[in-house]
A and B are shown apart, each in its own frame.
Chain A
Amino acid sequence: AQSVTQPDIHITVSEGASLELRCNYSYGATPYLFWYVQSPGQGLQLLLKYFSGDTLVQGIKGFEAEFKRSQSSFNLRKPSVHWSDAAEYFCAVNTGFQKLVFGTGTRLLVSP
C-alpha cells in the first residue's frame, strides 16, 4: 500500500538557521508529491508540489523541495528559518483517483 513517512515528529531550529524536513514515500508509479503547512487552528496551506520535470521545486515563503526517485524522498528545505515558520508540516502523495495519502506530520519549533 502507498505510504508516506515523516521520521521526525518534532524539530527545533534556531531562527536564521537552515531547515530540512524529511519525507519518504512508497508508491509504485511516478508520484505527485506535495508539502502542506498548518498553523495552529488553521487549515492546510499548500507550500509546493512536484508532478514532473525539474526535480528541484520552488514554493511559497522561500521553501523548496527536491525529488529523489532513487531514494524515494521529497525533502523540504529552507535556507533561513523565520519565527513565523513555526507550524506543522505535512508531506503527501497522490495515490490515484486524486486521493492524497499524508505523512503523520513534523512539528517545527523555532527558537530565538
Chain B
Amino acid sequence: DVKVTQSSRYLVKRTGEKVFLECVQDMDHENMFWYRQDPGLGLRLIYFSYDVKMKEKGDIPEGYSVSREKKERFSLILESASTNQTSMYLCAGTWRGGRGYTFGSGTRLTVV
C-alpha cells in the first residue's frame, strides 16, 4: 500500500498567518488530494492533483491554494489563515487506478 505522511498532527496559527500543510507519499505517481473534515459535514474536497504542477479545484477551494513541485509532495497553503479554517485536514494518495486510497493521519489546525 501507498504510505501517506502528514508532517504535523497539531498546529496552532494566528489569524492572517500564511500556513503550509505538508503531505508526502512514498510513490512517485498517482493522484493526491486534500480534504477538510468538520463535524456533521463529513469530508469535503479542497484541491487535488494528478501530476506535477497540475492542480484542480475541489468543492471548497476558496481561501486555499496548493503546490505540487514533486510527485511525492503535495502542499496545502492557507494564504491568510482565518478562524473559519480551524478544522481537521486530511491528505490522501491514490494508487492502482483509483482502486486504492490511503489517507494520512490528519493535521488538526486551530486558527486563533
Q: Which residues of A line the B interface, CB within 8 A?
A: 6, 9, 32, 34, 36, 42-44, 46, 49, 51, 90, 92, 94, 97-105
Contacts and interface: CB of A to CB of B under 8 A. Distances in A.
B90 interface: yes
B39 to A, nearest CB: 9
B42 A90 contact: yes
B58 A34 contact: no
13 contacts: A6-B42, A32-B98, A43-B106, A44-B103, A49-B99, A51-B99, A97-B48, A98-B31, A99-B45, A100-B43, A102-B35, A102-B43, A105-B42
Interface in B45-92: 45, 48, 50, 56, 58, 90, 92
B94 interface: yes
Interface residues of B, number: 24
Contact of B101 (A6, A9, A100): A100
Contacts of A92: 43
Contacts of A6: 42
A97 B43 contact: no
Given A49-B99, A97-B50, A99-B48, A104 B42 contact: yes
A97 B56 contact: yes
